């Protein structure tokens, strides 16, 4: 039988069935046409987005971070170009051998590298950031599909550990994390740009579609003087090594403007290599650490008494027998004296004399002075983590607390706050605001005490540095110097440690026309000597001497060798 005569071909389907099938086909075609019209005519952004996801890429472009300069224009921080390697996982096609070679060049475990490359949910993934230029060149020479290099910037600090606590550092994205880098991050960062490209399936760039130029960050010029900073660092490190101290800090201020010319902390770190850092190294002690200032606070107590008319510089205070009992507590002098003038109370650093003067004042009068000079308040210098210190409300003071606060016990301050307080004595009673940036004009200060009181205090503080005072080792050849030593037991777990001390010194020079204020703090000197006059005063003298000469400050005293007492013969202040 012929095929054409097969009975199967002779069968006829019902008419409704063929029409229904035709209708289904027409409906299907209608849905497809409608969907095509909707996607290509009315909602074409969906298809464009899908298409661009396959051939278009957008990469961020960062501007160069601004430089940080010292007051003389020397570069303290600069961003240098480096290369980073990244991948577009969807475009990566690597053989096992290529994967192994890339892992070796980037010093990465092969499995870790593979995990990054197979994650197609991400359109961009960093493989290794800020690598050496020669390594980047070796990776580029492999011409691996989907593997690219990107230009970035790494921060470089020429001053290294000398500038670490002032400048801080940036992270891998060149964003400020500490210090000036964080405080001025917005100005330094600038505005990022972007680059849009079209590439083929192998990852080769076919066309640059659009570029938005990045704006570079602005330079920031600090008040800091790199020469004085380096000098202060060297002298502080020498003292810490000599006295086997736990740490220390130095603050140098321009007495006229309040500008911070140097701020040094030890221990320190190298911001160019921050691997294995500890919290102690990162801590900016001059700004974040509180301590009891000890006898460096006596001049402030005396200034209050002079302002209130309670005493005069030649008023006699009886300090015999060298002790003062208040309730169950006894205040002692290191060297019992008899009758002392107010000037001699500062010169000899008598706790008994200071306490008796303080008890002649009201608690509110002392508290108001502490508040006026900025104690108990954040100094608003601009550094992250600034502390306010602690000054309790005067209404809660007991007589013994008021007496001990007169010589710096029961109150805590930072070294920056203490240095700023002495601007009152150097500027005829005017408290200067602190400045991190270079000041174009002299800032307006706040009047705290009268010019007459300030001049009287300058004379007393000069006596403390001369023979018969507690700080002859703070003298500087060719300049008249004024200042005050401080020695205090450290507080540990709410009690004073019997064998742990903080030695300090704050002073200014030249007395005839104050140019610089320098505050020094040495934490836990442990090689026998621990008084401020033995440990901190020599650091002050060396930093002041070198700094005044750098600034070409005219002499105001005879240029002759300074006669110092033999070791151990100094007048030791009361603690």
Structure tokens at 495: 């009690």
Q: Calculate helix-pair angle for 110-117, 96-106, nearest 10 degrees.
A: 110
How far from each other are the two terminal CA atoms of the chain, in whole angstroms? 130
Tokens linked to 359: 């008890």
Structure tokens at 42: 């009315």
Query: Is 573 in contact with 533 (CB distance < 8 Å)?
Result: yes
Do residues 319 and 505 touch, judged by C-beta distance below 8 A? no
Strand partners, 518: 252, 507
- Write out the DSSP string of 230-289: HHHHHHHHHHHHHHT-SEEEEEEEETTT-BEEEEEEES---TT--TT--HHHH--HHHH-
User: Three-state SS across 195-224?
Assistant: EEEEECCCCCEEEEEEEECCECCCCEEECC
Helix (H, G, I), strand (E, B) or coil at 558: coil
Peptide bond into 293 cis (omega under 30): no
Cα 234 to Cα 122: distance, rounded to the nearest angstrom: 50
Distance CA 220, CA 380 (A): 18
Q: What is the rounded CA–CA span in Å between residue 310 and residue 360?
A: 7
Select which of 79, 84, 257, 295 is catalytic: 295
> 343: closest CA among 319, 312, 369, 308?
312
**Largest CA-CA distance found in the chain, in angstroms, rounded:** 148
* Strand pairing report for 56-61 and 193-199: antiparallel
Q: C-alpha distances in angstroms, 490 versus 269, 376, 495, 506, 575?
A: 25, 19, 8, 18, 11
Q: Which of 356, 370, 358, 383 is nearest to 412 (CA)?
A: 370
349 included as an active-site residue: no
1: helix, coil or strand? coil
Residue with tokens 């991400």: 122
- The DSSP call for residue 378 is -
**397/412 Cα distance (integer angstroms):** 15
Q: What six digits make up the tokens of 223?
A: 């008040």
Long-range Cβ contact pairs of 562-567 (< 8 A, separation 24 or more): 562/472, 562/475, 562/476, 562/477, 563/467, 564/472, 564/473, 564/475, 565/467, 565/472
Q: Which residues contact 180 (CB under 8 A, 6 or more apart)?
A: 68, 77, 166, 167, 168, 220, 222, 436
Give the residue among 260, 242, 82 at the shortest CA–CA distance from 163: 260
Residues identified as active-site: 295
């Amino acid at each position: 039988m012929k095929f054409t005569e097969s009975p199967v071909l002779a069968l006829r389907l019902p008419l409704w069935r063929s029409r229904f099938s035709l209708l289904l086909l027409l409906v299907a075609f209608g849905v497809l046409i409608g969907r095509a019209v909707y996607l290509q005519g009315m909602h074409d952004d969906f298809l464009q987005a899908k298409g661009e996801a396959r051939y278009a890429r957008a990469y961020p472009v960062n501007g160069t971070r601004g430089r940080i300069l010292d007051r003389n224009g020397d570069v303290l921080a600069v961003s240098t170009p480096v290369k980073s390697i990244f991948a577009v996982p969807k475009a990566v096609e690597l053989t096992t051998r290529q994967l192994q070679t890339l892992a070796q060049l980037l010093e990465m475990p092969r499995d870790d590298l593979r995990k990054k490359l197979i994650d197609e949910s991400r359109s961009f993934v960093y493989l290794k950031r800020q690598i050496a230029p020669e390594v980047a060149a070796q990776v580029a020479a492999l011409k691996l599909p989907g593997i690219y290099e990107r230009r970035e910037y790494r921060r470089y600090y020429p001053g290294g550990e000398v500038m670490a606590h002032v400048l801080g550092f940036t992270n891998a994205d060149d964003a400020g994390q500490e210090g000036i880098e964080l405080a001025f991050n917005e100005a330094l960062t600038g505005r990022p740009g972007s680059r849009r490209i079209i590439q083929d399936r192998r990852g080769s760039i076919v066309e640059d579609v659009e570029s938005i130029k990045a704006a570079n960050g602005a330079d920031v010029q600090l008040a800091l003087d790199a020469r004085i900073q380096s000098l202060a660092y060297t002298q502080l490190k020498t003292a810490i090594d000599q006295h086997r101290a736990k740490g220390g800090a130095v603050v140098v201020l321009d007495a006229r403007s309040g500008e911070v010319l140097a701020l040094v902390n030890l221990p320190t770190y190298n911001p160019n290599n921050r691997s294995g850092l500890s919290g102690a190294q990162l801590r900016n002690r001059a700004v974040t650490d509180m301590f009891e200032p000890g006898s460096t606070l006596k001049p402030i107590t005396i200034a209050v008494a002079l302002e209130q008319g309670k005493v005069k510089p030649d008023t006699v205070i009886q300090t015999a027998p060298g002790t003062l009992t208040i309730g169950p507590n006894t205040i002692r002098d290191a060297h019992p004296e008899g009758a002392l003038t107010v000037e001699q109370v500062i010169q000899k650093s008598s706790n008994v004399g200071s306490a008796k003067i303080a008890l002649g004042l009201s608690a509110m009068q002392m508290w108001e002075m502490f508040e006026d000079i900025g104690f108990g308040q954040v100094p608003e210098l601009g550094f992250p983590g600034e502390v306010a210190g602690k000054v309790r409300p005067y209404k809660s003071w007991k007589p013994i607390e008021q007496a001990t606060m007169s010589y710096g016990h029961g109150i805590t301050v930072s070294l920056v706050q203490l240095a700023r307080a002495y601007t009152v004595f150097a500027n005829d009673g005017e408290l200067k605001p602190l400045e991190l940036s270079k000041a174009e004009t002299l800032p307006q200060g706040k009047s705290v005490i009268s010019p007459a009181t300030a001049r009287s205090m300058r004379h007393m503080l000069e006596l403390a540095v001369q023979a018969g005072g507690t700080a002859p080792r703070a003298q500087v050849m060719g300049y008249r110097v004024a200042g005050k030593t401080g020695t205090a037991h450290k507080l540990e777990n709410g009690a004073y440690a019997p064998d742990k001390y903080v030695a300090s010194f704050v002073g200014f020079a030249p007395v005839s026309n104050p140019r610089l204020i320098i505050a020094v703090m040495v934490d836990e000197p442990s090689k026998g000597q621990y008084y401020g006059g033995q440990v901190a005063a020599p650091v002050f003298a060396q930093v002041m001497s070198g700094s005044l000469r750098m600034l070409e400050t005219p002499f105001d005293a005879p240029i002759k060798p300074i006669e110092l007492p033999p070791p151990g013969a100094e007048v030791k202040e009361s603690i």
